[in-house]
Amino acid sequence: MWETVFKDIDSYFDEMVHIRRYLHQHPELSFQETETAKYIANQYEELGIPYRANVGGNGVVAKLEGGKPGKTIALRADFDALPIQDEKDVPYKSTVPGVMHACGHDGHTAALLCLAKALLPYKDEIPGTIVFLHQHAEEFTPGGAKPMIEDGALEGVDVVFGTHLWISTEVGTIETAPEAFFAGADAFEITIQGKGGHGAIPHQTKDSILIASQLVTSLQQIVSRKIDPLQSAVVTVGTFEAGKAFNVIADTAKITGTVRTFGQDVQETVIKEMENQIKGACTAHEADYDFQYNRGYPPIINHKEEAQLVLDAASQTPGVEKAQFVSPVMTGEDFSYYLLEKPGAYYFTGAQKEGHVYAHHHPKFDFDERALPIAAKTLFSSFLEYQNKHQ
């Protein structure tokens, strides 16, 4: 019977593409996804699947209760977009200036919605309950996962699975990691308060640009000289703002950036060493500073049993040619909050588009839509595999 379900999922390919492209043309930023949330809720309304809207904000949670006894398994898809101008020359290009789906969340949503539709006719034969988690605001901290959990999105759930369409991985490939998979993602802001003055009289100033420039270099030494080489960490400076005139030494400079780590001990070491570097540079130049460190999403730490289950299930799923463990990545994702509450695993569904070299968050980002039914089928096969192992 389940072979028929997989075929039915494939039969919804055109609808998945239609939904994905509609959402791609009508993106909404994190915490502003009101119309997208209504669109998702309307889909469940038309299907007659019970749902709850406005979960933790703009989240939507639907439940399909099967006719057979079993576990309650949550499947998650996010649906927010990014503040990026869409530069693709395609019919489904974003119609909203400065906003686009540059990470695949439109595809995640399309896959999960059509999975729900495909499974509805088999409701009486499905064991347990499937919870469809449609999450808002993944892209912008504090994210949507945590408030959705606080609003009861995981009540009664035994395990949670999620997937991310991944364009550096070939279509037909499923990838995950047995433990650490995504890094914790933090942000920092450093403001240097010096003493401005004339560019021709530098000795009467406290050059904030010089101090900040030294920090840009010295911060890189934290990872290379203060972190165990067998551990992973990233310290990246993303912006540098200072000065308004070519002949004026700026009194203030601001740098912002991100820190990525997998363990709290490494995270604490980075924070301490950043403070030491900033304090040392400013003391040497008799300048003041303000250091703001914002702890973002925790790392995604998959549960071993569930991660292996995903690969076992994927290897038996039509359309999957390869299922494998891979090394962790340094990107961040608030799916981590679900895994702090429940067992589960997150994985990549390969969506590499032939001849397309633009990465996630690029203005020309796009993916191979043949990955959509594979994402839906592997979510369902993970559901089935978990049910089979926990009867």
The reply to whether 241 and 354 lie within a common domain is: no
- Positive or negative, the CA dihedral 150, 152, 155, 159 is negative
The reply to whether 140 and 36 lie within a common domain is: yes
The reply to whether 98 and 45 lie within a common domain is: yes
Q: For 100-155, write each residue's pLDDT tens digit.
A: 999 999 999 999 999 999 999 999 999 999 999 999 999 999 999 999 999 999 99
The reply to whether 353 and 365 lie within a common domain is: yes
Cα 141-219-197 angle, rounded to 5 deg: 100
The reply to whether 211 and 305 lie within a common domain is: no
Active site (annotated) includes residue 80: yes
pLDDT the model gives residue 380: 98
What stretches in the chain show pLDDT beneath 50?
none
Asked if residue 380 lies in contact with residue 349, where contact means CB atoms within 8 angstroms, the answer is: no
- Positive or negative, the CA dihedral 162, 166, 172, 176 is negative
- Domain enclosing residue 29, as ranges: 2-181+300-389
Task: Name the domain boundary from 280, 297, 314.
Answer: 297
The reply to whether 54 and 171 lie within a common domain is: yes
The reply to whether 268 and 385 lie within a common domain is: no
203 marked as binding residue: no
Task: Name the domain boundary from 260, 278, 297.
Answer: 297
pLDDT the model gives residue 1: 74
164 marked as binding residue: yes
What CATH number has the domain bearing residue 271? 3.30.70.360
What CATH number has the domain bearing residue 36? 3.40.630.10
The reply to whether 329 and 352 lie within a common domain is: yes
Among candidate residues 28, 33, 78, 80, the one labeled active-site is: 80
pLDDT the model gives residue 391: 83
The reply to whether 306 and 280 lie within a common domain is: no
Q: How many CB atoms sit inside 10 A of residue 97's CB?
A: 8
198 marked as binding residue: no
Among candidate residues 33, 138, 158, 333, the one labeled active-site is: 138
pLDDT the model gives residue 275: 98
Q: For 180-205, write each residue's pLDDT tens digit.
A: 999 999 999 999 999 999 999 999 99
The reply to whether 253 and 212 lie within a common domain is: yes
Task: Name the domain boundary from 269, 297, 325.
Answer: 297
Residue carrying structure tokens 């119309």: 35
Residue 22 tokens, joined: 């509609």
The reply to whether 208 and 331 lie within a common domain is: no
The reply to whether 202 and 286 lie within a common domain is: yes
Q: Total domain count for the chain? A: 2
Model confidence pTM above 0.85: yes
